[in-house]
């Protein structure tokens, strides 16, 4: 981003109502948190899937 782009963006933000800016920040944080929760959920599902695979393998007759 060039300094001119930053100045233009700053001017736009300065014209907005503070409430609008706060709501924009809030929605951005919500999006980031949802993405992080999805990542954590995926890791847990992958981990649980691996555990389930290991339990299935251990219960097979050739492992006794």
- Name the 3-class secondary structure at 60: coil
Residue 54: its pLDDT value, please? 63
Residue 17: its pLDDT value, please? 92
Residue 32: its pLDDT value, please? 95
d(CA 51, CA 22): 43
Which residues of the chain have a pLDDT value below 50?
A: 63-64
d(CA 10, CA 29): 20
Residue 15: its pLDDT value, please? 93
Domains in the chain: how many in total? 1
Residue 8: its pLDDT value, please? 94
Residue 1: its pLDDT value, please? 83
Please give the residue range of the domain that contains residue 15: 3-63
Residue 64: its pLDDT value, please? 47
């Amino acid at each position: 981003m060039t300094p001119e782009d930053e100045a233009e963006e700053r001017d736009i933000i300065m014209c907005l109502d503070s409430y609008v800016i706060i709501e924009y920040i809030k929605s951005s944080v919500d999006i980031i948190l949802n993405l992080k929760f999805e990542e954590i959920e995926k890791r847990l599902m992958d981990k649980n899937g691996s555990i389930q695979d290991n339990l299935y393998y251990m219960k097979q007759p050739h492992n006794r």
